[in-house]
Structure 1
């Protein structure tokens, strides 16, 4: 299967890389991170990536939904 992405909602983006021969793929989730700056703060995008698929339990809701590969 090819790569695919979902945009909007609770996350900036959620993208899956291609499925490898062993059935595993990489999922990257973009979230907004709060950075303190003097007397104020601002949001910056933060990307986290984890492996998904057989034998790769999702440790965080951001990665667990959807539990299947996101395809184009």
Structure 2
């Protein structure tokens, strides 16, 4: 049994019935890189709850927080 109470929804996947054309175009416009960060389990659980509550993926929440925290 997995500890991930949200299943695959927390990995940023979308349902197979959803039109992903706009999403694919947005992502393809900018080159992406991967960031791996270790965080406490309690913070991870809070992050998952926040993302689910707001209808977002963890990736979306993290990107927004980083983007809003860095002066450009």
Comparing both structures, which one devotes a greater share of its residues to strand? 1
Which of the pair has the greater relative contact order for Cα pairs under 8 Å at 6+ separation?
Answer: 2
Per the normalisation by structure 1, the TM-score is 0.21
Comparing both structures, which one devotes a greater share of its residues to helix? 2
